[in-house]
Amino acid sequence: MDLAALIEKLREFARERDWERYHTPKNLAMAMSVEMAELVEHFQWLTPEESLAAKDNPAKITAIGEEMADVLLYLVRLADVMDVDLEQVALRKIGLNALKYPPDPQKAKL
Amino acid sequence: MDLAALIEKLREFARERDWERYHTPKNLAMAMSVEMAELVEHFQWLTPEESLAAKDNPAKITAIGEEMADVLLYLVRLADVMDVDLEQVALRKIGLNALKYPPDPQKAKL
Amino acid sequence: MDLAALIEKLREFARERDWERYHTPKNLAMAMSVEMAELVEHFQWLTPEESLAAKDNPAKITAIGEEMADVLLYLVRLADVMDVDLEQVALRKIGLNALKYPPDPQKAKL
Amino acid sequence: MDLAALIEKLREFARERDWERYHTPKNLAMAMSVEMAELVEHFQWLTPEESLAAKDNPAKITAIGEEMADVLLYLVRLADVMDVDLEQVALRKIGLNALKYPPDPQKAKL
């Protein structure tokens, strides 16, 4: 599956519920930030080590995965509404980040 | 391109910079929420209509796209660190949402 | 009442529950951002006009006020943990903002 | 100083710049969430111990204090726009939290 398939599903989902009028970029960004915080909430009181260990707790990792999916769904929906090619921009952004933060030469050769 | 390719690139990116020790789920969730807010910032004072029109402003849509990409990159990196299959969970979540919010019968048949 | 009284109450609250060990600045900032999103959630699908009208809906304004209070409580607790004099910094920040954004001369004389 | 003085200053600040039309509850909540993230950003890559130590770094604590003040200013402005008595709700919320999380009897008597 790729993001194009997800875009199509979410477009249909919004159309079938007459939700397109709510899906302004402003509203979608707000809603995404709320889902984002529901993900953050899982980690707020954990030590770094406990946050790593959460992946071995089936109930926790299921809940965390669902919050991550919620963020992705709004992100993909916003990309569709704004005609942004998310994958292409993500690849370009990795290139920009590589210029901004050159690799540690000691590590890069590993 | 699919998310698997992005995962691979980000894994290498972190390794080459010795950043793996910073990439706890707790830290990645925090960093993602900061990128999320940089996206929200573009829309904070806009009317709903202005937020829709932003997609026709080349400078704005480039900047907005890059903030969206930043969110995606952290999301994909977190999914890798936590062993979450983001695409599979996203599809499952759409199914759960469809049960939670049944389609409007008038709209669904269009 | 002033913020000093609130600081004292929250300090005691944490002590009585043995929560001081959780109250690192990092954790408090995360928890505050989660409460912040619970406030944002009330407004995410509203038009600007509907968001203004929320103050006349008793159930909504009670819920919104409680989310605002949650943000304030974490902010005050963080200020205590970090030895920040919130009121003094807020007054200074208003001064800095006034330099950054000079008033509209037409409006300032009203 | 109390919050009432801050409310008055911010009301005048908005009036002098003709910003009242932007200060819908929806926009203020968004803007506050952006300031919130600028606060979170200071802590995102820190260990819990480093986040505690930040209070002893003059440059850092000044920057952190200013982000905290920005959150407070938007919170106070939103409270004014929505006619919420923030201090009164905060006191009530502490009472509700005390019922929800009873104190540890061992600690409470210290």
pLDDT of residue C2: 76
A101: confidence class by pLDDT, cuts 50, 70, 90 = very high
% of chain A residues with pLDDT over 70: 96
Give the total residue count for chain D: 110
Q: Closest approach of chain D CAs to the CA of C95, in angstroms?
A: 10
Q: Tell me the pTM.
A: 0.95
Cβ atoms of residues D51 and C25 within 8 Å: yes
Please answer whether residues C86 and C75 qualify as being in contact, where contact means their C-beta atoms are separated by less than 8 angstroms: yes
A34 touches chain C (CB under 8 A): yes
> Is 70 exceeded by the pLDDT of residue C109?
no
Q: Tell me how long chain C is.
A: 110
Residues of B in contact with D22 (CB under 8 A): 45
Reference A60, options A75, A74, A39; nearest CA is A39
Tell me what the mean pLDDT of segment A82-91 comes to. Answer: 96
End-to-end Cα, chain D, rounded Å: 32
A31 contacts C45? CB cut-off 8 A: yes
Assigned token pair, C3: 């913020």
d(C-alpha D89, C-alpha C67), whole Å: 10
The answer, for C33 touching chain B at a CB cutoff of 8 Å, is yes
pLDDT tens, D37-66? 999 999 999 999 999 999 999 999 999 999
How confident is the model at residue A1, as a pLDDT?
54
pLDDT at D84 over 70: yes
Q: Report CA-CA distances (Å) from C47 to A22, A23, B68, C35.
A: 9, 11, 23, 22
Does residue D33 belong to the interface with chain A, where contact is any CB pair within 8 Å?
Answer: yes
Alpha helices per DSSP H over C20-102: 25-41, 48-53, 58-81, 86-100
Q: In this predicted model, what pLDDT tens digit does every residue of D11-42 receive, in sequence order?
A: 999 999 999 999 999 999 999 999 999 999 99
D99 burial via Cβ count (<10 Å: 0-12, 13-18, 19+): exposed
Q: Please name the member of C22, C31, C43 whose beta carbon is closest to the beta carbon of A30.
A: C43
Per-residue model confidence (pLDDT) at position A109: 56
**Does the predicted interface ipTM exceed a cut of 0.85?**
yes
Distance CA C28, CA B51 (A): 32
**pLDDT for the residue C105:** 78
Report whether pLDDT(D7) > 60: yes
A30 CB neighbours in chain D (<8 A) are: 26, 30
pLDDT averaged over every residue in chain C? 94
CATH number at residue A80: 1.10.287.1080
Residue D81: HSE in the Cβ half-sphere, 13 Å Cα cutoff: 28
C49 touches B: beta carbon within 8 Å: no
Chain centroid to CA A94 = 16
pLDDT in the model for residue C106: 74
Averaged over B35-46, what is the pLDDT? Answer: 98
Give chain B's domain count: 1
Cross-chain residue pair C30–A40, CB shorter than 8 Å: yes
Mean pLDDT value across residues A26-51: 98
Q: Give CA–CA dist A84/B68, Å, rounded.
A: 9
**Contact status of C2 with chain D (Cβ, < 8 Å):** yes
Range C4-32 average pLDDT? 96
Cβ contact A64–B84 (<8 Å): yes
Least Cα separation, residue A64 to chain D (angstroms) = 19
The predicted pLDDT at position D108 comes to 61
pLDDT at B1: 54
Q: Supply the range of the domain harboring residue C99.
A: 3-108
Give the pLDDT of residue B38. 98
Distance between CA atoms of A50 and C104, rounded to whole angstroms? 52
Average pLDDT, integer, range C50-74 = 98
Q: What is the mean pLDDT of residues B32-53?
A: 98
What rounded mean pLDDT belongs to chain B?
A: 94
pLDDT of D109 reads: 56
